[in-house]
A and B are shown apart, each in its own frame.
Chain A
């Protein structure tokens, strides 16, 4: 099983700052199969990034993804108040086919 470890567990930043979230895999993951989600309290997760760096059309361009192999990063260039939430990375392809990281909570300082 591929284990995804996200860091930090909690990130405290202010609006306007840059956020960098990390996702490290226990084995190499194809970039094609790495995604990021945002979840706000009481809501379902929302797809932010797929294929490591592609963005759905409704996601603002301040969200970007990068990385390959075992190290992936989600960057939010300038934090907006609505960006404070929990973020999960997810991989697909190895038994079990899909696993999630444990999440990074992005909180307002």
Chain B
């Protein structure tokens, strides 16, 4: 069974860059299915951030596209997320997910707070 584990700083200053990684185990990040990032502000619903295919092609949520980069290190089975120019509205639990059209496997999530 695929396992996903997010890691990264829990606190980021406003206007800074949020950087998270996701370690994939029990499967390969290069499998036919692909990975995405999803976030959830405290007490609110789910928001899809973007996805990366095994080819390296990416799709991003238009609302975040100018600020987000998703990449993958196949040799380490690791997924990365970078979000620039963060503000308080970017405070959320960030999830690494896998599965393609639907999200079969989820990491436990990591809370990132944007605050000075």
A contact set with B: CB distance below 8 Å: 1, 32-33, 35, 37, 44-47, 50-51, 56, 88, 90, 92-93, 95-103
Contacts and interface: CB of A to CB of B under 8 A. Distances in A.
Interface in B35-75: 36, 45-48, 51, 59-63
Nearest to B65: A96
A90 to B, nearest CB: 7
Interface residues of B, number: 21
B101 A33 contact: yes
A100 B106 contact: no
23 contacts: A35-B103, A37-B103, A44-B107, A45-B46, A45-B103, A45-B106, A47-B99, A47-B102, A47-B104, A50-B101, A50-B102, A88-B45, A88-B46, A90-B102, A92-B102, A96-B59, A96-B63, A97-B51, A97-B59, A98-B36, A98-B51, A100-B47, A103-B46
